[in-house]
Amino acid sequence: MARIKIPNLADAQEKQVFDELLRKWIDDDNAVHAQYITEWNKIDERLASDITVAGFSQDYIADLEARNNPQQRATAAKRQFVSLNRARPNHESVLGDFIATRRKLTVQGRTPKDRKLARVLQSRVEYIEDSELLPMTTYFPCMDHSFAKGLHWMKVTYNPQANGLKGKYEVFELSCRDVLVDCRSRGNFFRTARRKTHRYQMELEDAR
């Protein structure tokens, strides 16, 4: 894997080369990302609808005709068949289990030194979870979209100016629509990814 030389942004030529490289990365990653937009839109429509989605299950069609046929009602215990879309109810059931068990982040270490540090970090994580209501504001949305779309993101930043300069960790949930992943990454959770790009809108003056 080739290493990228850190450019001298004060040098116009090096900056131009680096800008072109960044643009190529973003264009390549965006091309792959765009392939999933239509699928994500269909999933959003499915979960927001009470209508049985075409292709989700067609088995009910023949059963519906047979059970509602007047000639067969006498031998069918006089019960009619009604189709139900289980996509959204199943989705909500899984999310309900997630809330009920109150899933939380766990920090662990492999070596004795790492485990000692992990205990310190774990207490800090628990404080942040409780004070920022992360199970509802971050974990639940991440679980929701990951279950439906197979992908979602959580972003952690550190604000040294918060709490009277004592600092504060800030956690946000990011939509998979707003994150571009290294299109050449491999493995679970993009294990080999060399970059992840969070794109968002801002005022032109701020961007400059």
In this structure, are residues 71 and 52 in contact, taking their beta carbons and an 8 Å threshold?
no
Return the sign of the alpha-carbon dihedral for residues 41, 44, 46, 49: negative
In angstroms, the Cα distances linking 155 to 88, 106, 138, 152, 171 are 27, 16, 10, 10, 6
Burial class from Cβ neighbours inside 10 Å (0-12, 13-18, 19+) for residue 155 reads middle
Q: How far apart are CA 137 and CA 86, in angstroms?
A: 26
Q: How far apart are CA 22 and CA 18, in angstroms?
A: 6
**What end-to-end distance do the CA atoms of the chain give, in Å?**
33
Q: How far apart are CA 196 and CA 25, in angstroms?
A: 10
Q: How many CB atoms lie within 10 A of CB 138?
A: 20
pLDDT digit string, tens, across residues 163-204: 787 788 888 888 899 999 999 998 877 888 889 999 888 888
Q: How far apart are CA 197 and CA 181, in angstroms?
A: 6
Q: What is the pLDDT along the chain (208 residues), one digit of tens a residue?
A: 456 677 888 888 988 998 999 999 999 999 999 999 988 888 887 777 655 544 444 454 555 566 556 565 555 555 544 445 566 676 777 677 666 666 677 888 889 999 999 998 888 888 888 887 887 778 877 877 787 788 889 888 888 888 787 788 888 888 899 999 999 998 877 888 889 999 888 888 887 7
